[in-house]
Homo-oligomer: A and B are copies of this chain.
């Protein structure tokens, strides 16, 4: 046990502080606002330490991307205490929750999307995370509506994600909350729609 064991929740270790600082700067000022120096300043450490924990600036951004993707996946992770129907409904409503519609989180997502668009490497990570998210959502649909084919569940998940992405983006532009509420309802309608006629 090192001397740091006393820090029960006092503050994160330096590496986490650096990552947190990078996320903060990225959400507030975009990628142009994230320099190794500004990250070091924000984290309260020396410049060299950033390069000690993260070889590259690229590695640092990659780590940030993974952090956000991880957070995204939690949104479609089922709560075992709920029924399949409630699990799905909860997941769909979560995207309008107070913690999610924070400017910080939405801004972060937006900047990471932009980053992925400009860089091949980030794009792959992003695409993989996107696929996992759709898969998670489709699984929730499949559990709540066992009669549906997997393909149909994926389709519904895709359609829902289109609306969800729209909500996230449009929230940043300041659309009224009533519209967000109606959009949430629309995702639920898609998710819980009766099985389509065959043929």
Contacts and interface: CB of A to CB of B under 8 A. Distances in A.
Interface stretch (A39-47, A73-81, A86-94, A153-161): A153-161
B118 A32 contact: yes
Interface string A102-143: 000001001101110110000000110010000000000000
Nearest to A182: B159
A162 interface: yes
Contact of A165 (B31, B155, B169, B180): B169
Contact of A110 (B113, B127, B161): B113
A174 B130 CA distance: 9
Q: Most B CB atoms within 10 A — which of A29, A115, A179?
A: A179
Contacts of A30: 31, 114-115, 117-118
Contact of A162 (B31, B155, B159, B163): B163
A28 B162 contact: no
B166 A164 contact: yes
Interface string A169-193: 1101111101110110010000000
Q: List 3 tightest A-B contacts by C-beta distance, closest first.
A: A166-B166, A30-B118, A114-B114
Interface of A: 28-33, 107, 110-111, 113-115, 117-118, 126-127, 130, 155, 158-159, 161-167, 169-170, 172-176, 178-180, 182-183, 186
